[in-house]
Amino acid sequence: MAIPDFQTVMLPLLKHLADGKEYPNREVLDALANEFGLTDEERKKLLPSGQDYVFRNRVAWARTHMKAAGLINNPKRGIFVITKAGRDLLATKPEKINLKVLNTYEAYQQFRSKHKPKQKPEEIEPENEEEIKTPEEQIEEAYETIRDSLAEQILEQLKGASSTFFEKVVVEVLVKMGYGGTRKDAGQAIGSSGDEGIDGIIKEDRLGLDIIYIQAKKWEKTVSRPEVQKFAGALQGKRARKGIFITTSEFSKGAYEYVATIDSKIILVDGKGLAQMMMDFNVGVSTEATYELKKIDSDYYAET
C-alpha cells in the first residue's frame, strides 16, 4: 500500500501503546511499518531533500500532534508511552484519530493557536491536502514549485537567446561542475570544431586525462534517435568514448533507448535537466533568500 499520511498513522500508533508500556521509537516505527505492510522501498523512501525518510517523518509528526493533545508522552529521550487521556480516547473505540479529533482537546487548541489562527473543530477539514502533509513536506513541495517555475523561466530565456549565448551557458555549467579545466580553456574548445555533428570538446578534468565531445542544440522540436545516432557516429570517427548531448528541448524515448545500447557513453541533457543544473551551480540565477531548517540535537541533551 502507499505510505500513509501522518493522520492515518495516529490511531494505529496509539493502539500500539495501549498496554501502557514504554516503547522506544525504533520499535514503534518498525511495528507500524509492518502493520501498514510497507515494502523495503517504501520504508526507505526519502523526502525530496534526502534528509529524512518519508514514513519516519510522518510518524514523528503524528507523535508530535498527539503529544500536544496530551494523548501520549515521552518520559525520556526516544521513549513513548500512552497517557490516561490516550487510554480514555481508545476506550471510546474511535474509527480514526485526526486533527479534528485532536482539536477537541484544550491542550491541542493551545498548541494549534501558536502556529495558526485558532479554529473550531468543525472548521478543520482533515481531508484538506495541506492538513495531511507534514510541515517538511509542505515546505519541500513549495520549494519544488518555485524551482519548477524558475526552470521554466530559464528555458524561456535560453530559447530566446542566440546560439552563441547558449554555447556560453553550456560552457559555464560544465566548468562549474568541474569539467574543462579553466573557463578560458573550455571556451576555446566548444564551438570551434563544427565537425560531423560535434559542436565542441572539453576536458573531463583539469589535467585533461580524457576528452568529452559535446553537441549543444538550441531546439524547439524533440531530438529523436537519428540525431543522437549521428552524434554517436561522430564520436566513433574520433575514436572517442564519451559525449554529452545538450538541448533546450527534449529527447524522444527512442533516443534514450539507443544510448543505453551502445558502447560509447553518451549523456543526454534535456532543457529541464540543463535548467536544473544551472540552478544547482548558480549559472544565470541569483539567491533571493536563504532559510535554515533546524532540528533538535538529541546528543546535546544527553546527560552523562
The three-state secondary structure class of 78 is: coil
Which SS3 state, helix, strand or coil, does residue 75 take?
coil
Q: How confident is the model at residue 238 (pLDDT cuts 50, 70, 90)?
A: confident
pLDDT for 38: 96
Residue 242's DSSP bridge partners are 265
Confidence of residue 12 (pLDDT cuts 50, 70, 90): very high
**245 contact partners, CB below 8 Å, separation of at least 6:** 214, 215, 217, 223, 228, 231, 251, 266, 267, 268, 269
Domains and CATH numbers, the chain: 6-133 (1.10.10), 150-280 (3.40.1350.10)
Model confidence at 194: pLDDT above 70: no
Question: 75: buried, middle or exposed (CB in 10 Å: 19+, 13-18, 0-12)?
Answer: exposed
Mean per-residue pLDDT, 287-295? 77
Percent of the chain at pLDDT > 90 equals: 49
Instruction: Say yes or no to pLDDT of 152 above 70.
Output: yes
Q: What is the pLDDT of residues 254-283, one digit of tens each?
A: 999 999 999 889 999 999 999 999 999 999
pLDDT band of residue 122 (cuts 50, 70, 90) is very low
pLDDT beyond 70 at 127: no
pLDDT reading at 120 higher than 60: no
Would the pLDDT of 195 be above 80?
Answer: no
Q: What is the pLDDT of residue 295?
A: 73
